[in-house]
Amino acid sequence: MTSIATTPGATPVGIGLKAQHLAEIFAEGAGSRSGPADALAFFEVHAENHMVAGGPRRRWLERLRGRWALSVHGVGLSIGGPGPLDEAHLQRLVELLAWAEPQWFSEHLAWSSHGGAFLNDLLPLPYNRSTLQRVCSHIDQVQERLGRRLLLENPSRYVEFSAGTMDEATFLTLLQRRTGCGLLVDVNNAYVSAVNTGGDAWELLGALPTDVLAAVGEIHLAGHHAEADSLGALLLIDSHSAPVADPVWALYERFAARLPQPVPTLIERDQQIPPLASLVAEATRAGRAQARAQQALVHRPATEPIEAAA
């Protein structure tokens, strides 16, 4: 297992592992560490792509983890689903993490299965007491089985629920305090959700209390694209198909100024994959932006009303 050793004030940055970049990454690994990937501290892989007993995917990870740290990102646990967690899926995850020994494991605050059918999407939840109780129970189960802390990612949202009784910052705060899980803050998701629901992304990023900010273990940055809904209104899609947009960069740097320590940051790109050097350049930009923000260290006090709501 390779761990990230950071210098004070430095921000570890990474990208998602893509098959089309492997030859270049591994060619660098045999040489003088002078290629684009030299600037990276870690790679992220999706858990479900590596739940196999052997083969080329496992060999990729074996080579990678000797030089870079790994972040394993799950998309199939359906932590927010109404039914019990899939025991077979959870066991495959236990086995993968025991073998890969990643620095982090993360999943989504979402549901993606129902009645035994798996959906090709990560669907949001109403933020209320019933949902909170269910998700806390699922997180407790996952963390106990894995023997490690889970980082939970805020979702991209396209609708508001009439059954919702609390905002996203309150829900995440109560969830983190009750389970002890970590958070993966996706800044693009916060921006997309705010635009789609007529809100302000800073209502989430600016409202997380100081103790919850200390539980942020990773940050995601990604691109999105714009469409129109059935009424012609602007609708942003979290597509991971474009460079990080300027408003998301601005939010990221503003959020980074609230963090009590540098937080590893990942550039996500799952469609229209550019050359490796382009993704590394975005990751490097993220590291520099967070370094600038950390110099300011503009922290806000804990939000006491959220504490009282617990």
Position 4 in a domain:
no
Question: Which CATH number fits the domain that encloses residue 174?
Answer: 3.20.20.150
Q: For residue range 40-86, what is the model confidence (pLDDT) as tens digits?
A: 999 999 999 999 888 888 898 999 998 999 999 998 899 998 889 99
Q: Note the pTM of the prediction, 2 decimals.
A: 0.89
- Inside any domain, residue 180: yes
Here the tokens at position 32 are 């003088």
Is residue 204 a part of any domain in this protein?
yes
> Which range scores top for mean pLDDT: 21-25, 117-121, 214-218, 238-242?
214-218
Q: For residue range 151-164, what is the model confidence (pLDDT) as tens digits?
A: 999 998 777 776 77
- Structural domain including 115 reads 13-309
**Angle at alpha carbon of residue 68, lines to 63 and 73, rounded to 5°:** 95
Number of domains in the chain: 1
Tokens (6 digits) for 49: 């792509």
Range picked from 72-86, 101-115, 202-216 for highest mean pLDDT: 202-216
Examine residue 150 and state whether it is found in any structural domain, yes or no.
Answer: yes
Give dist(CA 27, CA 144) in Å, integer: 39
Beta bridge partner(s), residue 216? 183
Quote the CA–CA distance of 133 and 137 in Å, as a whole number: 6
- pLDDT tens for residues 1-48? 677 754 555 799 999 999 999 999 988 654 445 588 989 999 999 999
| CB neighbour burial string for 118-137, b if at least 16 within 10 angstroms, e if fewer | eeeebbbbbbeeebbebbbe
Q: Collapsing DSSP states into helix, strand and coil, what is residue 122?
A: strand
